[in-house]
Chains A and B, each alone.
Chain A
């Protein structure tokens, strides 16, 4: 069973701080990972994807992939109240396999 696991939270972070979201995966077979953001009552929105070991930055978001340790993380710098949402990590094992999501709340 190929799995992607996330801490369901909730995770509370003060406004302006760095939010760190983590995800582990069970099978080294996956080569690509995706982070989605989902607001309550809305569909998931793609934020970042990463294929290679190391960091990938896009604005306030940085995705990190460590294949040796089988974890993926998402850092959100200068957190804003609008970042409050559930963040879903997904790995590609033929099909896209999602974690259960981490609920993030940014406290003003």
Chain B
């Protein structure tokens, strides 16, 4: 079974630009969660989608948004990029039950210059 895939793997943007990251979950998984990982803050939860609905949301500004499509693929968007948005963005998929295990994709490394 194929794992979680994320595109692109690396991205370089400048301040003020916007970016869209994509995540394809494991086949049959209906939930996708997004995380930001930085050396200083660790793994921070952004949001979780289940069956095209946002189920949980972390404490990030409104510049961070996401959506999920009917095939469970998900995208996250960051508008008006700031230098502090440089991070590894990870997506994790699960079957969707509340205690389901989450499996991570390889991540997208975003650098904001």
Give the B-binding residues of A (Cβ under 8 A): 31-32, 34, 36, 42-46, 49, 51, 88, 92, 94-101
Contacts and interface: CB of A to CB of B under 8 A. Distances in A.
A46 B102 contact: yes
A94 B42 CA distance: 19
B32 to A, nearest CB: 12
Contacts of B45: 95-98
A49 B101 contact: yes
18 contacts: A31-B99, A34-B101, A34-B102, A42-B106, A43-B90, A43-B105, A44-B43, A44-B90, A46-B101, A46-B103, A51-B99, A88-B43, A95-B33, A96-B33, A97-B45, A98-B43, A100-B42, A101-B43
Given A43-B90, A44-B43, A94 B107 contact: no
A38 B49 CA distance: 24
Question: Is the contact region of chain B dominated by helix, strand, or loop, or is it mixed?
Answer: strand
Nearest to A34: B101
Contacts of A46: 101-104
B107 A43 contact: yes
Contacts of A92: 98-99
Interface string B16-44: 00000000000000000101000000110
Nearest to A33: B99
